[in-house]
Amino acid sequence: MTYSIVARDAGTGDLGVAVQTRFFAVGATVPWARSGVGAVATQAFGDRRYGALGLELLAAGRSPRETLDELTAADAHAHVRQVGIVAGDGRAAAYTGSDCVPAAGHVTGDGFSAQANMMRSDEVWPAMADAFVAARAPLARRLLAALEAAEAAGGDFRGRQAAAILVVRGEPTSRPWDDKVLDLRVDDHAEPLRELRRLVELGDGYTALLQLREGEPPPDAVTAIERLPELDRRWGAIYDTLRRGDIDAARALVAPLFDAEPRWRGYVESLAARGLLPRADELLRE
């Protein structure tokens, strides 16, 4: 009842899962990932145990194939499950139960597994694999390309409703709660993939906004920030003018905000007190 892809980025080591289906809130069931360990997609008659226990088995040293063998051997209803797994080292494996609703199947490759069931066509999962391999972009965009290729090849024969994408860092940090790079869900939408792409692009914009505030903007920061709402674009311009040392221009940009809502001054003072806004003292000086 779903198509999904699990993958590892060979350059960064990041791990991710992306999924689309005609089923409400699919992001609550299908995608699972843990930094440095692996990623799992559990679908068809999805069982969350495959995600939670699958990651535990990978962390204990099982390969993706060994993990799938253990999980399906312990499941009386394995014949209606479909699961894709990629490990932190890029090894991948998949399982499609014999009673999954057709068209159903999977394909694995170097660092990824694409799987689908209840599709209009058996071209869906190969199309996902081809699109992922061909894409030259950060992992989240490659995962999106795979989903869009699946939809173009026919997608879920019931239609579409929900989508999700989860990406975690390749190497875990000492702060596991910060190891998620991206965690987005579209729970109910007429065009979930279009909405998911919009959210990914917003995520890029807000990441660029924070990097700009910290003085280390990526080369495409301005383009990414232009996708944001007007208020956030204004703050992006304020951060940029402060970074470049143009205090007068920054004051001109922030003055209408202070006039419209005096609490913005307190916000700037709070950023300044934490060292999160360069030259904020000059910005606040009358």
pLDDT digits (tens, 9 = 90+) for 186-207: 999 999 999 999 999 999 999 9
| Backbone region of residue 15 per phi and psi (left: phi > 0; alpha: psi in -120 to 50; beta: other values) | beta
Cα distances from 251 to residues 42, 192, 208, 286, in angstroms, run 52, 40, 22, 9
Structure tokens at 268: 């700037």
Instruction: Report the half-sphere exposure of 224 (CA within 13 A, side-chain side).
Output: 19
Contact 98, 85 (CB under 8 A): no
How do the domains of the chain map onto residue ranges? Answer: 2-189, 191-286
213 pLDDT tier (thresholds 50, 70, 90): confident
Contact 164, 26 (CB under 8 A): yes
pTM exceeding 0.85: yes
Contact 85, 102 (CB under 8 A): no
Kindly report the average pLDDT of the chain as a whole number.
94
168 SS3 class: strand
Q: CATH code for 2-189? A: 3.60.20.10
Q: Return d(Cα 232, Cα 137) in angstroms, integer.
A: 25
| DSSP one-letter string for 208-238 | HHHHHHTT---TTHHHHHTTS-HHHHHHHHH
| Backbone region of residue 18 per phi and psi (left: phi > 0; alpha: psi in -120 to 50; beta: other values) | beta
Q: What is the pLDDT of residues 77-88, one digit of tens each?
A: 999 999 999 999
Place of tokens 């790079």: 181
Task: Kindly tell me if the per-residue pLDDT of 218 is higher than 80.
Answer: no
- The stretch 142-148 carries a mean pLDDT of 98
Contact 104, 118 (CB under 8 A): yes
Task: Kindly tell me if the per-residue pLDDT of 63 is higher than 90.
Answer: yes
Taking the alpha carbons at both ends of the chain, their separation in whole angstroms is 61
| Backbone region of residue 118 per phi and psi (left: phi > 0; alpha: psi in -120 to 50; beta: other values) | left
- The stretch 169-185 carries a mean pLDDT of 94
Q: What is the DSSP letter of 8?
A: E
- The stretch 118-128 carries a mean pLDDT of 97
Q: Return d(Cα 90, Cα 38) in angstroms, integer.
A: 8
* pLDDT over 90 percentage in the chain: 86
- Size (the chain), residues: 286
Task: Kindly tell me if the per-residue pLDDT of 14 is higher than 90.
Answer: yes
Q: What is the pLDDT of residues 238-273, one digit of tens each?
A: 988 988 889 999 999 999 999 999 999 999 999 888
